[in-house]
Amino acid sequence: MIKTIAFDADDTLWHNERIFLSTKEKYKKLLSKYHDKNWIEERLDKTEMRNIKHFGYGVKGFTLSMIETAIELTEGRVKGEEINEIIAYSKEMLSSPIEVLEGVEETIKEVSENYHIMVITKGDLFDQEAKLARSGLGDYFDDFEVVSEKNKLVYKKILSKYEIEPNSFLMIGNSLKSDILPVVDNGAHAIHIPYETEWFHEMVTDEEAKKREFISLRKMNLVIDWLENL
């Protein structure tokens, strides 16, 4: 029987990708006098992918990638006030209101009464702790883990740390790559709840997904029914 339920944070508990997409649009507009907007976005995506191993996930790493891309695509001609504008975008992102997704609080409140529940998320520790606090959901969770990456080994270490048997563990998240496939590969359970958009870095092929068994639900509030029907 499932005893521990873990939730991803960004785009599972609250909206996050919307903030990044909005910032990208402002960034492309800011630099559009130098290059075509599509080309700017393509370069930014490549820089961000390249920099994840250096800066990790989150707003701060994204900001450094925006600055690096601006310097590269302008061949060093980017102005100080334009760099300052990019930094302002970053501060806006870090202080953005947290919009909890539909059905999340009701679901978490109910499952917290019968299960050990936790958050397992990627990103910057300070930023993720602040978002959890601003979300108003923090008191429901027993544990909170912020990791630099989500893969089979990381989940295995978390299960070991909390002395959780894989067959008693359930992970719920929006990313097949980070929240679902590595969990299933550890012999645990996973529920995929897709978000309205999918970050390019988190995409997996249909072939990869079909190799594993997991549950797909359209909305968070369907989790309760699924648990009751086990």
Q: Are residues 90 and 169 in the same domain?
A: no
Structural contact between residues 193 and 220, judged by C-beta atoms closer than 8 angstroms: yes
Q: What is the pLDDT of residue 2?
A: 96
What percent of the chain stands above pLDDT 70?
Answer: 97
> Of the candidates 94, 124, 147, which is a domain's last residue?
94
The answer to whether 8 touches 175, Cβ cutoff 8 Å, is: yes
Q: What mean pLDDT is reported for the chain?
A: 93
Cβ contact 6:118 at 8 Å? yes
Same domain, 53 and 105: no
User: What CATH number has the domain bearing residue 54?
Assistant: 1.10.150.240
Total residue count of the chain as it appears in this document? 230
Same domain, 120 and 79: no
Do 70 and 144 lie in one domain? The reply is no
> Could you identify the residue written with the tokens 């002395």?
163
* Predicted pLDDT of residue 207: 73
Q: Has residue 101 got a pLDDT over 80? A: yes
pLDDT score recorded for residue 80:
95
Q: Are 40 and 206 in contact (CB under 8 A)?
A: no
**Based on the domain organization, do 21 and 83 belong to the same domain?**
yes
Q: Which two tokens stand for residue 193?
A: 């709840």
Are the C-beta atoms of 70 and 41 separated by less than 8 Å? no
| pLDDT band at 197; cut points 50, 70, 90 | confident
CB half-sphere exposure, 137, CA atoms < 13 A: 33
Say yes or no: 188 and 81 in one domain. no
Q: What is the mean pLDDT of residues 188-214?
A: 81
Structure confidence at residue 171 (pLDDT): 98
Residues 146, 55 within the same domain: no
Q: Give yes or no for residue 85 having a pLDDT over 70.
A: yes
Domain stops at, among 75, 94, 113: 94
The pTM score is: 0.90
Q: In terms of domains, do 112 and 217 share one?
A: yes
Q: Is the pLDDT of residue 202 over 90?
A: no
- Rounded average pLDDT over 35-44: 94
Residue 199 pLDDT > 70, yes or no?
no
Residue 203 has pLDDT above 80, yes or no: no
List pLDDT tens digits, range 52-67.
Answer: 889 988 999 999 999 9
Mean pLDDT over 62-85 rounds to 96
Residue 193 has pLDDT above 90, yes or no: yes
Residues 59 and 120 reside in one and the same domain: no
Q: Do 30 and 62 share a domain, yes or no?
A: yes
Residues 118 and 195 grouped into a single domain: yes
Q: Print the domain residue range for 71.
A: 17-94
Residue where a domain stops, chosen among 61, 94, 127: 94
CATH of the domain at 140: 3.40.50.1000
Q: Which of 6-15, 69-78, 199-208 has the lowest mean pLDDT?
A: 199-208
Average pLDDT over residues 116-122: 97
Query: Do 200 and 151 belong to one domain?
Result: yes
Please count the structural domains in the chain.
Answer: 2
Q: How far is CA 111 from CA 213, 218, 228, 229, in A?
A: 23, 18, 11, 14
Cβ contacts of 109-114, under 8 Å, gap ≥ 24: 109/140, 110/224, 111/5, 111/223, 111/224, 111/227, 112/140, 112/141, 112/142
Q: Average pLDDT, stretch 55-81?
A: 94
